Homo-oligomer: A and B are copies of this chain.
């Protein structure tokens, strides 16, 4: 079991002992700046409650059901402790953290089962069916859209949480075909370590990488930070096995098929409502020998967007391109500046740039390439830079990219620290076609700023473009606001509603890579139409006629 819950925060992001690692001087500078921007002093929130202080209703699962579960999963594989039930009670969205910190939880799984193989997963589903329990598949638990809420239907006796993390083995590597087959409960670091031992990589690095699972990536149509080069999990998936209440669905290992609709695609994004993904074959590659990230500074967001679009449509094989808008650029430069450090070449360059016309409104682009051949990587970066310069980009060298790469899995830790200091952070993302992207960026930013003003009296809204395609790109919005001391959840809900309405109205998708979960369900029919949802319900009815699987999500 590679994800040990004991090593994870029960009420915050990620691993115990890990943090953003800002220096004290930077922390002070950041809080001062936020206070200045919000036009008010920050009020630290009361300290989070201890896990022991939570009062859980006793598990309602009858002893006979527990005995059957133990027969399937072993004694250690069936848990009803408060520790386990709290750890599996929520994901890691902002409202999840707000609830966990206050101890304000209204639902817990009745029992957590850790099946050890595919047969045991099937047995757990059968036991849950006969006990009238809903089943919530749970991998890393890092959902930020309510995807692992232990909900159950009115006629059900609560929810069983099916933790997949014992399914963590590498089953085989097919070197000729460049594929590897894993059990689906394996987490990011374990998967990459097993591949690295063979000189290989999957190249899938979502921000949750350190504590999310292969099965979770597939269930949520996950996208990694280097997806421009490697593709999303949808492109990386070759075949899978999924245990449903009616039996196993499996696809075969072929590179492509026209024997009807692509069944992998029905499972990709199914968010646990059809079954439990237990095994997956994925495309792997030789681990890159060279990885380089470079920075460019644009005079405004529009120039940067045009540059990224041109790079992408010219087919330049970048592994990433990440363009911050002016507001995000400004905050990042502030966060970057270390008051204790005397000589900072990037800071000096930026000062010179400001005088030369790259001042207010300027935007940083990080673009990267990686691969086996240094020469090819260099050529890619050279071609990208030439396009960037034609759009007014000023080369910033390797410094900004190095900092970003070092902290690429760290930034979510900042959220917990900011919450301690009375500042809420949430992120919302979408994708637009290029022709709608500028207006979409403006419309969503405006909606977000208005909502922050209305809901919090002040706030900061910023965004970056990442994960670009020939026909469009993802926009990823970050908002910070002073936390309402008493109605923080309502405050969040108002902001979330306004932003989501604006995204849908501007022609964006509800999610480029976070998923639907419970948070986006109310908007889904607007994006997809009711008929498409009815068809998905029809497919679900064939696989899960009793409606056991992950109630309240997606459908």
Docked CA distance A431–B527 (Å): 35
Docked CA distance A93–B538 (Å): 33
Docked CA distance A309–B175 (Å): 12
Question: What is the oligomeric copy number?
Answer: 2
Question: CB distance A471 to B178 under 8 Å?
Answer: yes
The 8 Å CB contact of A538, one of B470, B528, B542, is B542
Chain A positions 432-484 with a Cβ under 8 Å from a chain B Cβ:
432-436, 467-474
Nearest neighbor of A433 in chain B, beta-carbon distance: B177
Question: CB distance B433 to A535 under 8 Å?
Answer: no
In this assembly, does A507 line the interface, its C-beta being within 8 Å of a C-beta of chain B?
A: yes
In this assembly, does A263 line the interface, its C-beta being within 8 Å of a C-beta of chain B?
A: yes
In this assembly, does A548 line the interface, its C-beta being within 8 Å of a C-beta of chain B?
A: no
Docked CA distance A205–B232 (Å): 26
Docked CA distance A515–B260 (Å): 7
In the bound complex, residues from chain B placing their C-beta under 8 Å from that of A294 are none
In this assembly, does A266 line the interface, its C-beta being within 8 Å of a C-beta of chain B?
A: yes
Q: Which of A246, A248, A263, A371 has the most CB of B within 10 A?
A: A263
In this assembly, does A299 line the interface, its C-beta being within 8 Å of a C-beta of chain B?
A: no
Selected interface stretch from A77-85, A250-258, A354-362: A250-258
In the bound complex, residues from chain B placing their C-beta under 8 Å from that of A251 are 528, 532
A259 CB → nearest B CB, Å = 4
A105 CB → nearest B CB, Å = 26
Question: CB distance B509 to A252 under 8 Å?
Answer: yes
In the bound complex, residues from chain B placing their C-beta under 8 Å from that of A283 are 470-471
Give how many A residues have a beta carbon under 8 Å from the other chain's beta carbons: 90
Q: Which of A178, A251, A274, A554 has the most CB of B within 10 A?
A: A178
Docked CA distance A257–B507 (Å): 12
Question: CB distance B244 to A531 under 8 Å?
Answer: yes
A532-B257 contact given A434-B178, A435-B174, CB 8 Å threshold: no
In the bound complex, residues from chain B placing their C-beta under 8 Å from that of A537 are 542
Nearest neighbor of A244 in chain B, beta-carbon distance: B531
A257-B510 contact given A238-B471, A249-B529, A531-B246, CB 8 Å threshold: yes
The 8 Å CB contact of A541, one of B474, B514, B538, is B538
In the bound complex, residues from chain B placing their C-beta under 8 Å from that of A223 are 256, 258
Docked CA distance A284–B179 (Å): 30
Nearest neighbor of A220 in chain B, beta-carbon distance: B258
Question: CB distance B535 to A543 under 8 Å?
Answer: yes
In this assembly, does A512 line the interface, its C-beta being within 8 Å of a C-beta of chain B?
A: yes
Docked CA distance A537–B514 (Å): 29
A255-B179 contact given A263-B528, A263-B532, A538-B540, CB 8 Å threshold: no
A469 CB → nearest B CB, Å = 4
In the bound complex, residues from chain B placing their C-beta under 8 Å from that of A256 are 223, 232, 431, 467, 469, 472, 474, 509, 512
Nearest neighbor of A553 in chain B, beta-carbon distance: B260
The 8 Å CB contact of A260, one of B258, B431, B473, B528, is B528
In this assembly, does A267 line the interface, its C-beta being within 8 Å of a C-beta of chain B?
A: yes
Nearest neighbor of A262 in chain B, beta-carbon distance: B265
- A sample of 25 cross-chain residue pairs with beta-carbon separation below 8 angstroms, ordered by A number, consists of A176-B309, A176-B433, A176-B434, A177-B434, A179-B471, A221-B258, A221-B262, A234-B262, A246-B534, A247-B531, A254-B432, A256-B469, A258-B514, A259-B269, A259-B510, A260-B270, A266-B266, A266-B535, A531-B542, A531-B543, A534-B542, A535-B543, A536-B539, A537-B542, A539-B539
